[in-house]
Amino acid sequence: MSTDYSDLPYRPCVGIFLFNDDKKIFVGERLDNPGSWQMPQGGMNEGETIEQAAFREMREEVGTDKAELVRISDTVYTYDLPHHLLGKLWQGKYKGQEQKWVALRFTGEEREITLYDGVHPEFMNYRWSHFDNVCDDIVPFKKETYLKVLEEFKDLVV
């Protein structure tokens, strides 16, 4: 039996385009899905601004908030979960995510990145990727969104 999830809302989310002085972009390998990489992202808490959510998510997923805000996207990006994940993620409340993306320049030192300090770690590994390689290992259902985000923030790293 097929369940129709089309009436479900999108989960409000912030995405983080974190780049360093070498103009490389932070991507993390998901702890729950080895081989799948993504930029930091996460749900927004009620009453949080986009900037507050971005820095909180960065602390939770990257282990540091050593960064400066460069730009907040004007665009709201959405993606739908693939059918096999519908009803399983986020207690089945959402059909996908709507994201505001935030460009942050990393101002810390490499040693300050601590992936396992959070209560619920997301990443087992990370790397700084060149612009052209960010989407190499991204899960397919996020790739279209990532390509648009990369194009929007391209001027910061190319």
pLDDT in the model for residue 95: 86
Question: Which residues are 38's β-sheet partners?
Answer: 28
Looking up tokens 């009453």 gives 47
Examine the pLDDT at 2 and tell me if it is beyond 60.
no
Q: Following CA atoms 61, 45, 43, 59 in sequence, which dihedral angle do they give, to the nearest 10 degrees?
A: -10
Examine the pLDDT at 29 and tell me if it is beyond 80.
yes
- Domains recognised in the chain with CATH numbers: 10-156 (3.90.79.10)
Nearest C-alpha neighbor of 63 from the set 113, 126, 128, 123? 113
Contacts of 37 (CB under 8 A, 6+ apart): 27, 28, 29, 30, 127, 136, 137, 138
More confident residue, 96 or 2: 96
Taking the alpha carbons at both ends of the chain, their separation in whole angstroms is 48
Q: Over the stretch 124-149, which tens digit does the pLDDT of each residue have?
A: 999 999 999 999 999 888 999 999 99
Q: Identify whether the C-beta of residue 18 lies closer than 8 Å to the C-beta of residue 62.
A: yes
> C-alpha angle 134/138/143, rounded to 5°?
90
Q: Over the stretch 39-57, which tens digit does the pLDDT of each residue have?
A: 999 999 999 999 999 999 9
Question: Side chain identity at 2, as an amino acid letter?
Answer: S
Across the chain, mean pLDDT equals 91
> In which element (H, E) is residue 158 found?
none
Nearest C-alpha neighbor of 60 from the set 18, 116, 142? 116
Question: Side chain identity at 44, as an amino acid letter?
Answer: M
